[in-house]
Amino acid sequence: MANIHNMTFLKEKIDTLKEEGLYKELVTLEGPNESECIINGKKVINLSSNNYLGFANHPRLKQAAIDAINLYGAGAGAVRPIVGNMKIHDELEQILARFKREEAVLVFQSGFNCNAGTIQAVTEEGDLIISDELNHASIIDGARLSKAKKTTFKHSDMDDLERILKENKDKYKKMLIITDGVFSMDGDIAKLPEIVELAEKYKAMTYVDDAHASGVLGENGRGTVDHFDLHGRVDFTIGTLSKAIGVVGGYVAGKKVTIEWLINRGRPFLFSTALPPAVVGACIEAIKMLMESSEYTDRLWENATYFKKNIKDCGFDIGQSQTPITPIIIGDESKTKDFSKKLFEKGVFVSPIVFPTVPKGTGRVRCMITAGHSKDQLDKAVDIISQVGKEMKVI
């Protein structure tokens, strides 16, 4: 028998990834994640970050983290249901519930964990999960952990969603419609008002993952539900503390009874150690900053609108983007990677996104615009992108 301990079975899989152009290597930042950062000793304009509001290295968040460490220590010491639940965790949930205008909130260690824990806990055998085909991997994995049946509807296609609801309305105990609030690869916004209407018509529950809408859409970044004024009509709203909020963590907002159930049955909540105080303190400060002023979200949208207009005027195809996520569609996978490489050489870091993350032939570089970018940085980035676009005959 072959020696399994030398891991040739993994080496072979890695070789296949390389042959298919799907192999990933890590990029290392030599400092904080800001609008400009240092990679391989080179200063580049950073158009790849989810640090939408520039909070990741904000002095107020850093000070709040230090204060929390001084008050509560470096670690929580246990899972929350045993003895890891500190006053600071309760405070974060209270302020998030006020911010989201929901009855209650439960915080998980990440957005991924939150989806993994919540979907399986609120569905069971005899239920049907109906998921937009472009939903995030953590929703797919969360649904896989559930004993419910699963199906997908075509991306944002309300006719397809209604067909599924109509066909299945009497076959299941409950139906749960799940959608991203903002789709991470295209930057389009879910048709939430239509989804909610269909859900009400066919008596299904609704679940929105606002990872890319938290801190971005709605009044002062309250999310998609607020953006469409659908308060009280969405059953589960997921948010992340890892992107616009600038730190790490995830949460579910909803009815008190939902949170009570998840405290008892949300597996990552039950079995994984609580977030450390520094993280929680910094998140509280970030939410306070959002509640105090729209300064950060206003600047984000001003920058995004400015950049998108200039990129479009150059003749690039930015697809259906309605948010600061700005994909520049290149098409061919290897051309997309070359495009990104050339941008880096000229001083702009923007990740290539190719199959299987997006459909074959729709490779793109995904520009993430933040409140932290200066007009100068955005102008310089547009100049370089346009130069490379002309060189590579994309425009």
> Given strand 36-39, what is the order of strands in its sheet?
36-39, 42-46, 348-349
Which residues are CB-contacts of 225 (< 8 A; sequence separation ≥ 6)?
A: 100, 181, 192, 208, 210, 218, 231, 233, 234, 237
- Binding part of the chain for ligand PMP, among 68-76, 108-116, 167-175, 297-305 by CB under 6 A, reads 108-116
Q: Which is nearer to ligand PMP, 127 or 132 (CB)?
A: 132
Pick the binder of ligand PMP from 184, 237, 336, 351 (CB under 6 A): 184
User: Rounded distance, CA 61 to CA 298, Å?
Assistant: 19
Give the shortest CB-247-to-ligand PMP separation in angstroms: 10
- Report residue 368: phi and psi, to 5°: -110, 115
Q: Which is nearer to ligand PMP, 208 or 330 (CB)?
A: 208
Inter-axis angle of helices 87-100 and 59-72, to 10 degrees? 140
Q: Measured from the CB atom, is 304 or 385 closer to ligand PMP?
A: 304
What's the per-residue H, E or C state across 74-118? CCCCCCHHHHHCCHHHHHHHHHHHHHHCCCEEEEECCHHHHHHHH
72 versus 112: smaller Cβ distance to ligand PMP: 112
What residues numbered 248-307 form the site for ligand PMP, per CB under 6 A?
A: 250
Question: Does 102 participate in binding ligand PMP (rule CB under 6 A)?
Answer: no
Regarding 198 and contact with ligand PMP (CB under 6 A), the answer is: no
Binder of ligand PMP out of 102, 180, 226, 333 (CB under 6 A): 180
Q: Provide the strand spans (E) within the chain.
A: 36-39, 42-46, 104-108, 128-132, 149-153, 175-180, 205-209, 236-240, 250-254, 325-331, 348-349, 352-353, 363-368
Q: Any contact of residue 366 with ligand PMP (CB under 6 A)?
A: no
CA atoms within 13 A on the CB side of 111: 25
Does residue 48 interact with ligand PMP by CB under 6 A?
Answer: no
- Sorted by sequence, the CB contacts under 8 Å of residue 137 that are 6+ apart come out as 112
| 242 scored as a contact of ligand PMP (CB under 6 A) | yes
By beta-carbon proximity to ligand PMP, the closer residue of 178 and 318 is 178
Closer CB to ligand PMP, 138 or 386, in the complex: 138
Among 58, 89, 100, 212, binds ligand PMP (CB under 6 A): 212
Q: Which stretch binds ligand PMP (CB under 6 A): 208-216, 225-233, 288-296, 382-390?
A: 208-216
At its nearest, how many Å lie between ligand PMP and the CB of residue 180? 5
> Which are the catalytic amino acids?
184, 212, 243
Q: How far apart are CA 298 and CA 173, in angstroms?
A: 43
Query: Of 110, 118, 321, 336, which one interacts with ligand PMP (CB under 6 A)?
Result: 110
Q: Does 240 bind ligand PMP (CB under 6 A)?
A: yes
User: Are 139 and 178 contacting, i.e. CB atoms less than 8 angstroms apart?
Assistant: yes
Contact characters 119-158, ligand PMP, x per CB under 6 A: -----------------x-x--------------------
Cis ω before 327 (30° cut-off from 0) = no
Binding site for ligand PMP (CB under 6 A): 110-112, 115, 136, 138, 180, 184, 209, 211-212, 240, 242, 250
